[in-house]
């Protein structure tokens, strides 16, 4: 899709360290962008978007992973492809 890969990233609330990181496949990206309310001025979703607990659970369901949305803070994050 672009030179950016996307991940669902979970952070420990106490330490702010990454504890979960899951690839968001390009096929799911349009749905992920909708869930994360990515604005039109970021068409590649290059920035980081905080997800509410229900949004994080929804995205996790689409990529078929289990998460702790009530105990961690989740974001849709864009990373430069290697």
For residue 52, what is the domain's CATH number?
3.10.50.20
pTM, to two decimals: 0.91
- Cα–Cα distance, 64 to 44 (Å, whole number): 22
Residue 56 structure tokens: 């994080």
Q: pLDDT digits over 20-47, tens only?
A: 999 999 999 999 999 999 999 999 999 9
Using only the alpha carbons of the chain, give its radius of gyration. Answer: 12
Q: At residue 82, does pLDDT exceed 80?
A: no
Instruction: Indicate the pLDDT class of residue 81, thresholds 50, 70 and 90.
Output: confident
Range of the domain at 11: 4-80
Strand order of the sheet with strand 18-24?
A: 18-24, 4-12, 72-80, 49-51
Of 60, 54, 71, 58, nearest in space to 19 by CA = 71
Domain count, the chain: 1
């Amino acid at each position: 899709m672009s030179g950016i890969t996307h991940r669902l990233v979970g952070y420990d609330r106490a330490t702010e360290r990454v504890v979960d990181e899951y690839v968001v496949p390009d096929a799911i990206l349009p749905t992920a962008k909708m869930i994360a309310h990515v604005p039109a001025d970021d068409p590649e979703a290059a920035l980081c978007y905080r997800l509410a607990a229900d949004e994080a659970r929804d995205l996790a369901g689409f990529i078929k992973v289990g998460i702790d949305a009530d105990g961690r803070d989740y974001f849709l994050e864009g990373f430069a492809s290697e």
